[in-house]
Amino acid sequence: MITATITPRALVIEGHAGYAPRGYDIVCEAVSILSETLAACYPPERVTEITPGRAELDIDNLTHDEETLLEAYLTGIRMLADRYPAHVRTKDERKTDANTPDTSRPEGREK
């Protein structure tokens, strides 16, 4: 399972999808392409780690453009979590108070 966790200071993507054998895992490749694209668009100092099975980006004090890129990335990851809930999940830990809705989707699309 791949988990994308967003906190107030970091975006951490870790794990392996396990959808298919290595080299044939379209879910893993989709997450990898999204994550590597975001990392390529951010300044290098924001990319804390990018290795097979793990990526971490510093998202503290983002510029407007960086925030827009992050929201586009999160849209893509959430779409994957909706389509492949046994292989991808998101956790949004940016909630600041009890009135802020939890937008994480650990079990896929809610019905």
What is the tens place of the pLDDT at every residue in 32-69?
999 999 999 999 999 999 998 999 999 999 999 999 99
Listed as own residue / partner, the contacts of 105-109 with beta carbons closer than 8 Å and 24 or more positions apart are 105/78, 105/81, 108/81, 108/82, 108/83, 108/84, 109/82, 109/85
Does position 103 have pLDDT exceeding 80, yes or no?
no
Domain locations along the chain: 2-92
Q: How far is CA 14 from the centre of its chain?
A: 9
Architecture of domain 2-92: 2-Layer Sandwich (3.30)
What is the tens place of the pLDDT at every residue in 79-96?
999 999 999 999 999 875
* pTM for the whole structure: 0.82
Greatest CA span in the chain, whole angstroms?
Answer: 43
